Amino acid sequence: MSVLRHQGATLHYREAGQGLPLLLLHGFPLTSDSFWPQVEALSGKFRLIIPDHRGFGESEGGDQPTTMDAIAWDALAILDALAVPTAVVAGVSMGGYAALALTRLDPGRVKALVLIDTQVGADDTAGKAKREETAKAVEQKGMAVLVESMMPKLLGPGAPPEVRARVEKAIADNSPKGAAAALRGMALRPDSREIVARFAGPILVMVGAEDVITPRANAEEIAGLNARAQLVELPGAGHLSNLEAPEAFNRALEDWLNRLS
């Protein structure tokens, strides 16, 4: 892991491979490790750059809510540190919100977008209240709150036991403070429909056929916003399609990346 100090946080990030830079932004409440099948299969072909977002994994956060803009600025600082002018920016769920924030903040750095098991709308009032309630519960009782509430929804019924165990451990090992800050940050995110609609580059939208958190309807909405968007559904996968259907996921992503240039 490499380390960078940026805006009150100590950021750790993984780098693997060479070639077209692919920035991978992880979902909530996971870490950069949640891209292990992509590191294994794609690092021989592309340059993977994978941060632990502030407050997750080995990265320490600040005291403020971890907004999607903060994650995006951190990722841009990592690209700056590596002298990477443009990258394909990919994000899973919360990572997708951050990818859209990065596209709004600095569209010139985004060669193409990959939006995985995510959505473009903002939280409604009830959704924001639920985030705050969960943030308080996590601060009081720890990560067990998220293990219990999220494990049944994150993975589809066919997810292999070793994937289930690794995801559960990643959640349990994360810091309650970091998770609470990200819950509050997600509640602050704006609607991103305009970002998708105005993006001039190619967009790949990927969704697990059994995703119950951001189902296919969310992916169809994203793909319908931009004529350059392409939708890929991954059979047998839930919300973490890159872990649950890694071979189909990697093949679809690699084919699409190879067609970019």
**Residues near ligand MLT, by CB under 6 A:** 27-28, 93-94, 186, 213, 239
Name the minimum Å distance from CB 239 to ligand MLT: 6
Contact between 228 and 114 (Cβ < 8 Å): no
Closer of 38 and 93 to ligand MLT (Cβ): 93
In whole angstroms, the minimum distance from the beta carbon of 258 to ligand MLT comes to 27
What amino acid is encoded at 128 in this protein?
K
Q: How far is the CB of 28 from ligand MLT (least distance, A)?
A: 3
Q: Shortest gap between Cβ of 116 and ligand MLT (angstroms)?
A: 10
Q: What is the number of other CB atoms lying within 10 angstroms of the CB of residue 202?
A: 18
Judged by beta carbon, residue 99 or residue 229, the one nearer ligand MLT is 99
CB 244, min distance to ligand MLT, A: 13
SS3 10: strand
Comparing CB distances to ligand MLT, the nearer of 29 and 202 is 29
* Alpha-carbon dihedral 38, 16, 90, 195, rounded to 10 degrees: -170
Given strand 21-25, what is the order of strands in its sheet?
2-6, 9-16, 47-51, 21-25, 87-92, 110-116, 203-208, 229-234
Collapse the DSSP code of 110 into the 3-class scheme (helix H, G, I; strand E, B; otherwise coil) and give the result. Answer: strand
Of 186 and 223, the one with the shorter C-beta distance to ligand MLT is 186
Nearest Cα to Cα of residue 209 among 247, 235, 239, 232 = 235
* Residue (120 or 186) nearer to ligand MLT, CB: 186
